[in-house]
Amino acid sequence: MHPKIAFSEDVGLTMARNELQRWYLEHERPLPWREQPAPYGTWLCEVIMQQTRIDQGTAYWERFMHRWPNFQSLADASVDEVLKEWQGLGYYSRARNLHKTAQIICDEYPQGHPTELNQWLALPGVGAYTAAAICSICFGTPVAAVDGNVLRVLSRFLGIHEPIDRPSGRKPLEAFAEAWVDPKHPGRHNQALMELGALICTPHAPDCAHCPLQKECTSSFMPHKKGSMPPFKQGKTKVQDVALHFHVIHQNGRILMQQRPDHGIWGGLWTFPSSEAPWEGSINNDVIPEPLDQCLIARGPCGTSVKHLLSHRRFHVQFWLWSCPEDCTLEMGEWHRWDSAELLALPRVLESSWEDVKNSASQKESKTNA
């Protein structure tokens, strides 16, 4: 075990903790949820900011707060409204859990909200980090909130070379974080560590000269060459290439839209009906995929092919236009006009390609009807 991990109010580490908080009070960014921290706004912030840049996430947080300023108003919204407002943030299970959690809180805590760590941990989509952040910031619970920024800061501070994506590396860091959290100001301490990781102890160019932890940091005098400084990871999951075909099926000016199941990618969102195929290494607009129904008439490629990267899959997306005769009944979705379909909650890959696909489909339909 690293000697610092077993500390019991070590003088140097206590001084470093105090320096960290002094630095934070001087340099913290004026983010809106920090002005008057409250459980609803803090919870909303922590959920939105997962896998999201602070500048992008702030705009979403402000829109959500304006439209649904408390648990009850969010609980009263429809899940489709929440998904639509979430559009563009990705990882849509977060939005569904956000809505579900608001409903649970309103049902089970009619006088307000949970105040205990275990109560927050029992809610959908609330993990150890989110629960700790809410409880330390809003209720003064002395618990460490350990996210990616904190793991990076502490792995460098302690000189941990074990991979942080494995228990051998992560558990010592979590143990130290719990021991080091300031019992008097846990929320400030947690936010200071996160802020340090965002502003100073960055992934690729740490500014060690201006770091409040420099004197006690094991890595502050290490060469800052790529790959030479913690954190280390055992390895990334290989990304799989997949050909994804979106079938733009039209009938009398309407298009067929399909709501995806809650589980899986784009859960609960609306897309064109789709099919997948092995990726052959290049786009071929001459090879039309199998029709989803034998009554459909192929009209060829539609719009521009695009790439869309998820965590473990790289989609090579093609759009195909199909005509559906009036006497053909399809039970794989709902018919919408283009303008009403655009109001549905769409994944980013469709949102960004919507106008291109719509214009291409309209031109092909006009030629077909001429």
Is the pLDDT reported for residue 282 higher than 90?
Answer: no
Mean pLDDT of the chain: 91
Each residue of 242-268: pLDDT tens digit? 999 999 999 988 999 999 988 888 989
Where does the pLDDT of residue 81 fall: very low under 50, low under 70, confident under 90, or very high at 90 and above? Answer: very high
Task: Calculate what percentage of the chain has a pLDDT beyond 70.
Answer: 94
Where does the pLDDT of residue 310 fall: very low under 50, low under 70, confident under 90, or very high at 90 and above? Answer: confident
For tokens 């999951």, name the residue: 237
Q: Which residues are catalytic?
A: 46
The answer to whether residues 181 and 144 touch, using CB atoms and an 8 Å cutoff, is: yes
The span from the first CA to the last CA of the chain, in angstroms, equals 77
Instruction: Give the tokens for residue 348.
Output: 């980013």
Residues 271 and 334: their CA atoms lie apart, in Å, by 11
Is the pLDDT reported for residue 237 higher than 90?
Answer: no
For tokens 């209720």, name the residue: 139
Residues of the chain with CATH 3.90.79.10: 240-369
Is the pLDDT reported for residue 369 higher than 80?
Answer: no
At 348, which amino acid appears?
R
Distances (CA, A) of 113 to 71, 81, 101: 9, 23, 11
At 249, which amino acid appears?
I
Residues 179 and 158: their CA atoms lie apart, in Å, by 13
Residues of the chain with CATH 1.10.340.30: 3-210
Distances (CA, A) of 69 to 5, 72, 164: 41, 8, 37
CATH code of domain 3-210? 1.10.340.30
Residues 351 and 270: their CA atoms lie apart, in Å, by 11
Structure confidence at residue 210 (pLDDT): 94
Structure confidence at residue 143 (pLDDT): 97
Q: Would you call 122 exposed, middle or buried from its count of C-beta atoms within 10 A (0-12, 13-18, 19+)?
A: middle
The answer to whether residues 318 and 305 touch, using CB atoms and an 8 Å cutoff, is: yes
- Specify whether domain 240-369 bears CATH 3.90.79.10: yes
What residues contact 128, with CB distance under 8 A and at least 6 apart?
121, 146
Q: How many CB atoms within 10 Å of residue 339? A: 8
Structure confidence at residue 151 (pLDDT): 95
Q: What is the dihedral of CA 355, 359, 362, 368, to 10 degrees?
A: -140
Q: What is the mean pLDDT of the segment spanning 306-331?
A: 91
Structure confidence at residue 7 (pLDDT): 47
Q: Indicate the pairing of strand 297-301 with strand 270-271.
A: unpaired
Rg of the chain's alpha carbons, rounded to an integer? Answer: 25
Of the two residues 29 and 111, the one the predictor is more confident about is 29
